[in-house]
């Protein structure tokens, strides 16, 4: 029954978006058609996900943020270390869940080094009582300009029910 209601709502939204698209296209002409279509498609996807999620979830949802401070290392999105990573988006996490982020860390110092991981500035202050950050790193030493793929895991306890959002700093550095 919930899925049928979700489908009816989604079809209604699609019809409304298509009518709105046609009206705006007449105003814009051919220029801007692709941009407008992509924007409307994005809105549709976001609304669909929201309707489905709202109809199926009854758990408390917590949004996440994260800043990344690096000491002696570079942190990147890609294996070639071309796209720097400055922010970790944990997305929406729930009690009793984990969230993984894979990234590439490069030793940008001029000495062989091992890495360390720490956290700081949790908001709210007691968030660290309900969440923990870990990683899959075996202590491998990195030569200068050598990189390694790492996965950071945020674990949320079952007791994390009274938070709407959280943020904290992730500190990655080298032990030279």
Give me the pLDDT at residue 141, please: 94
Quote the domain boundaries for residue 98: 62-175
Q: How much is the pLDDT for 86?
A: 83
Q: How far apart are CA 170 and CA 151, in angstroms?
A: 13
- Residue 118 is part of a domain; what is its CATH number? 2.60.40
Reduce the secondary structure of 126-154 to three states and give it as a string. Answer: HHHHCEEEEECCCCCCECCCCEEEEEEEE
Q: How many domains does the chain have?
A: 2
Tell me: do 41 and 126 sit in the same domain. no
For each successive 10 residues of the chain (176 residues), what is the average pLDDT?
38 56 60 59 57 48 59 88 90 90 91 90 91 94 94 92 85 82
């Amino acid at each position: 029954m919930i899925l049928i209601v979700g489908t009816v709502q989604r079809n209604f939204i699609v019809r409304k978006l298509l009518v709105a698209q046609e009206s705006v296209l007449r105003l814009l002409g051919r220029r801007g058609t692709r941009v407008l279509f992509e924007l409307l498609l994005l809105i549709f996807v976001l609304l669909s996900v929201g309707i489905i999620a709202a109809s199926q979830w009854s758990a408390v949802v917590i949004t996440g943020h994260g800043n990344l401070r690096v000491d002696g290392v570079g942190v990147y999105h890609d294996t070639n270390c071309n796209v720097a990573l400055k922010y970790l988006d944990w997305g929406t996490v729930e009690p009793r869940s984990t969230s993984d982020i894979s990234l590439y860390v490069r030793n940008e110092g001029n000495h062989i080094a091992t890495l360390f991981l720490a956290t700081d500035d949790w908001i709210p202050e007691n968030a660290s009582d309900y969440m923990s950050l870990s990683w899959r790193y075996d202590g491998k030493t990195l030569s200068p300009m050598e990189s390694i793929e790492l996965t950071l895991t945020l674990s949320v306890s079952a007791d994390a029910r009274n938070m709407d959002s959280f943020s904290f700093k992730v500190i990655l550095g080298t032990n030279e």
